[in-house]
Amino acid sequence: MSEKTNKRQRSRIGYGSSYHRGERHEVGSGPGIGSVLGGQVWVIQPDRKAVPENACLWMQAGAVKYKTCNNHFDCNTCKYDHAMQNKVALGKQVSWQDSMRRQPALARTCRHSLTGRIAQRACAYDFHCEKCDFDQYFEDVLAAKTQSAPTDIARVKGFDVPRHYHFHNGHTWARIESGGNLRIGLDDFSLKVFGQADGFDLPLMGKELNHNQIGWGLKRKHHLADVRAPIDGVIMEVNIRVMENPGLANREPYGDGWLFLVRTPDVKKAAKRLMDDEASLNWINNEVSILEEMVTDVAGPLAADGGTFGPDIYGNLPGLDWHQLARTFLKTG
């Protein structure tokens, strides 16, 4: 029931490897590693020159040969970074900063560019980040406002489901940002079901969200739908643009229509409570089936293939009950 809207395919898997379709004679022979999946022979070829998808700052600087980041580029809470800094203090390891200082001038890239948080930018402070005005401004101001839209989206009966987002069964999403914060919003399904809100009842910066508890509300005319928070954490930033223009959430639910940036004490624990790519697709398929039954009850039989849903389902089908929709899909009401 789902189809990819982005046809881009990965050409590398794992660290330093590439793959191609092969022939049966390549299984067990040749320089590659041959295996059969679904009746098709695939040959994986090690390639030491390949670049891992999330290379650690220490690797990108050339201070170590290989290390992927498993802490969302949140160096302040990274055990590996702390251990490496201790080795540097003992004179047993060159720091990533010193390694970058040895690079040609044009290759001395800002650490925020290395971690993918901003576009290409040269370092002007010789990697003394504590003295850098931009570094402080970015961490305090720009990081909360700098976000990116999804590049790989599946579509299920007209509803967008992006990859690398984590979903709560109350139709909210969380995306782990570089630096360890989580960006939060309502998903495309809920915003199409309830239609464009007249406003959002959002808490202020500094307030706490509690996982699975009522976190905010969606208003439409005389109706209010409560929404459950997908994670625990403290709100670091509220999207003022959505408060001023609620329709932005409907137009770009996974981009500029985000609602909060949240700091949580344990990012990995928070992510484990939510659905990943495969689970979220299965869940949305099931939610669509429930919605189809509700629509059939008030509007009669759907097309044989179910068709696809457009925006403002509630507004276009007055027979649907707002409170029932909130109970069924937002787990509130």
Which string of DSSP letters, residue by residue, matches 200-254? EE-PPTTPEE-TTSEEEEEEETTEEEEEE-SS-EEEEEE-HHHHH-THHHHH-TT
Report the relative pairing of strands 214-220 and 199-201 from DSSP bridges. Answer: antiparallel
The pLDDT value recorded for residue 259 is 96
Assign 114 a pLDDT band (cuts: 50, 70, 90).
confident
80-84, 103-107, 131-135: range with highest mean pLDDT? 80-84
The string of DSSP letters for 36-62 reads EETTEEEEEEE-TT---TTB-HHHHTT
pLDDT at 5: 47
pLDDT digits over 160-182, tens only?
A: 999 889 999 999 999 988 778 89
DSSP state of 132: -
Instruction: Output 120-126 pairs: Cβ under 8 A, ≥24 positions apart.
Output: 126/101
Whose tokens are 């299920």? That residue is 156
Contacts 24+ apart (CB under 8 A), 86-94: 93/63, 94/63
Alpha-carbon Rg of the chain, whole angstroms? 24
β-bridge pairing 166-168 and 172-176: antiparallel
What is the arithmetic mean of pLDDT over 264-283? Answer: 92
pLDDT tens-digit series, residues 217-254: 999 999 999 999 999 999 999 999 999 999 999 999 99
Separation between Cα atoms, residue 158 and residue 166, nearest integer Å: 19
Q: Which fold has domain 153-277?
A: OB fold (Dihydrolipoamide Acetyltransferase, E2P) (2.40.50)
Q: Would you call 289 helix, strand, or coil by DSSP?
A: helix
Q: Which of 73, 67, 86 lies closest to 112 in space, CA to CA? A: 73
Phi-psi region of 16 (alpha: psi -120 to 50; beta: other; left: phi over 0): left
Tokens at 142, concatenated: 């720009």
Whose structure tokens read 């009669």?
300
Kind of pairing, strands 40-46 and 17-21?
antiparallel
Cβ(217)–Cβ(226) below 8 Å: yes
What lies within 8 Å, CB to CB, of 84 at 6+ separation is 58, 63, 64, 93, 95, 96
pLDDT band for position 106 (cuts 50, 70, 90): confident
Q: Read off the pTM.
A: 0.71
Per-chain mean pLDDT for the chain: 84
Domain-by-domain residue ranges, the chain?
Answer: 8-46, 57-145, 153-277
For 46-75, what is each residue's pLDDT tens digit? 555 555 668 899 999 999 988 888 887 888
The residue assigned the tokens 């509690």 is: 210
Sequence-distant (6+) residues with CB within 8 A of 162 are 150, 152, 153, 154, 254
